Structure formats: structure tokens, C-alpha cells
Amino acid sequence: MKQEDLATPNKPNWCPGCGDFGIWLAVKMALTQLDLKQEEVVIVYGIGCHGHMCNFTKTYGFEGLHGRPIPVAEGVKLANKDLKVIVVAGDGDTYAEGLNHFLMGVRGNHDVTLIVHDNRIYGLTTGQTSPTSEKGRVSKSTPTGSIEVPVNPMALAVAQGGSFVARGFSADPKQLVELIKAGINHRGFAVIDVFQNCATFNKVNTVEWFKEHTYRLEDTKYVPNDRMKALQIALDEEKLATGIFYQDSREAYDQDVPAEKGDALVDHDISDIDITESMEQFT
């Protein structure tokens, strides 16, 4: 496909300067550079500013409940293992309501690519503290400063046994495109946390702030095959790395389910069940 094939009649409604634009562009560039067909791609969206991307990207798509895009994507992949399944979610979506789904997705190594818009704030609901906001953050929900320490997505993914753990930056499209392509091509659960700015509600973690506090792992000749080294890098919250932290080649979830061996995913016949009788117990 070409980038114009992904266009819809709808135009983005994000705030000017939002990091969502950079991530959206990187997703489209990755899909076109991989030479995928539109019907081969399903993108499952969470709820948040990022979720509006479903209106601007012409592929198969599904926008679910807040915090629940990962299990929906896993179901899509189990139903049709030939699809390229992508999740576009937010830091609130993934690391608050969806944190257990995130950990279980990593643990099960489902063949899904997770792209997290991590702006360290709840942008859609006008600037409340999110799971990745720093301790002490003053916001609408924490007027005297956040008490909690932030979630560390990279450390969680590496420690949980993630087979592909990476982080990008919305203002570094060249690197981000390559990370997304690598994640889509990876056989297993690919975590790509993406630093982005919220131009309206997060005046701390600006584009300039991220540029000052990040460095690219590929510039250090880092090899992402040592889990302990990856964890060490993930735990460094002073110098924030971008790039692939860790990658291995263990089998993906759908490679071990019965359907992969030619059996039906659901092997029981429910045609003779009286639904009316079964529902009486709930009335």
C-alpha cells in the first residue's frame, strides 16, 4: 500500500504540536515500507487522544473499552493468525486500567505489536496525572503533587520476560519507523513505548525536555540480547534510552494453541443448548 491508501475523509483533531502526529506518521510509514496490504492489517485502539487515529487510518480497526485493547487484539490474532495485529494505546490505557492485560500479553508472548503513546498525562480528560507521571506532579487530580512513583514500563516488560521491548520518541521519526517495522516483523509480543509531548496539558515533558534527557541505544553499539543489561538500562531514570532494549526468539502464543495444529479453537458443540432455560437462573 501507499500512504495515500491509508487516508480517510476525516482530518486529525489533535492539538497543534501534539506528539500524536509523529506517531501516526511513523505508523503509516512503517506499514507502507513493509509493503503490507490493507486487508492484512488490523489496528485495535484504546480510549484517549491516540484512539482518534482510528478515524484517520484506513485499515481494519476496532476501538474498544478504556484499558482493554490488548485482549481484543489477542482475540483477533487467535481468530486469524495470518493478520498483522497492532495495538495503539496510551499510557493511561496500558499502565493503569490495562496493566494486568499488559503483563499477561508480555507473559503469553501473543503475536501483537503494542505501540503506547506515553505523554505522562491524561490528555483527553484535560490533564490529570497518569501512571507514568513523575512523583510530585501537580495536576487537576493531584493539586498538592502526586504521591505515587511512576510505573516503569520498560523494566516491567523486561522483567516479565518480554521477547521484544523497545522505546521510541515521537520527534525522532526515523528511529520510530524502524522500531515499529521491527516490532511488526517480530514473532511475539512487541512492546514499543513511545515518548511524546502533550502540547496542551504537560508543560514539563516537552519535546525539548525529551531531547535533553534521552539518548539512542544504537549510537552506543548496544546489542539487545542481555536481559539483565536491558533491565539495568530500563531502571536508569536519569539517562532515558530509546531503541530496542531486548529481543529474543521464543515461540509466540498462537504457535502453541490447538488451532495451529489444525484443530478447531473451540471444539465443543453448543447447538443443542436451550438458551432460554439457561437464562432463567439470572431472572
Confirm whether 145 is domain-assigned: yes
Confirm whether 272 is domain-assigned: no
| pLDDT-derived band at 272, boundaries 50, 70, 90 | low
More confident of the two residues 86 and 274: 86
Can you count the helices (H) and strands (E) in the chain? 9, 8
Burial classification of residue 212, based on how many CB atoms lie within 10 Å of its CB (0-12 exposed, 13-18 middle, 19 or more buried): exposed
For residue 25 the three cell numbers come to 506518521
The torsion region of residue 276 among left (phi > 0), alpha (psi -120 to 50) and beta comes to alpha
For residue 93 the three cell numbers come to 490505557
pLDDT tens string 216-271? 999 999 999 999 999 999 999 999 999 999 999 999 998 877 655 545 454 445 55
- Indicate whether 282 pLDDT > 50: no
Confirm whether 283 is domain-assigned: no
pLDDT tens string 22-55? 999 999 999 999 989 999 999 999 999 999 999 9
User: In terms of DSSP bridges, do strands 190-195 and 164-169 run parallel, antiparallel, or are they unpaired?
Assistant: parallel
pLDDT for the residue numbered 280: 58
- Indicate whether 76 pLDDT > 90: yes
pLDDT for the residue numbered 16: 95
Residue-number span of the structural domain to which 58 is assigned:
3-251
Confirm whether 66 is domain-assigned: yes
CATH number of the CATH domain containing 138: 3.40.50.970
Closest CA to 169 of 122, 214, 128, 228: 214
| pLDDT-derived band at 157, boundaries 50, 70, 90 | very high
pLDDT for the residue numbered 264: 46
Which of 97-101, 137-141, 162-166, 247-251 has the weakest average pLDDT? 137-141
Q: Mean pLDDT, the chain, as a whole number?
A: 91
For residue 174 the three cell numbers come to 526515523
Query: What's the structural domain count of the chain?
Result: 1
State the DSSP string of 196-209: ---TTT-SSS-HHH
Confirm whether 280 is domain-assigned: no
Cβ-contact 17, 201 below 8 angstroms: no
Confirm whether 232 is domain-assigned: yes
pLDDT for the residue numbered 262: 47
Q: Which amino acid is located at 107 in the chain?
A: R
Rounded Cα gap, residues 158 and 135, in angstroms: 22
Confirm whether 261 is domain-assigned: no
Q: Which amino acid is located at 41 in the chain?
A: V
Q: Which amino acid is located at 140 in the chain?
A: K
Confirm whether 279 is domain-assigned: no
Rounded Cα gap, residues 246 and 225, in angstroms: 6
Cβ-contact 190, 114 below 8 angstroms: yes
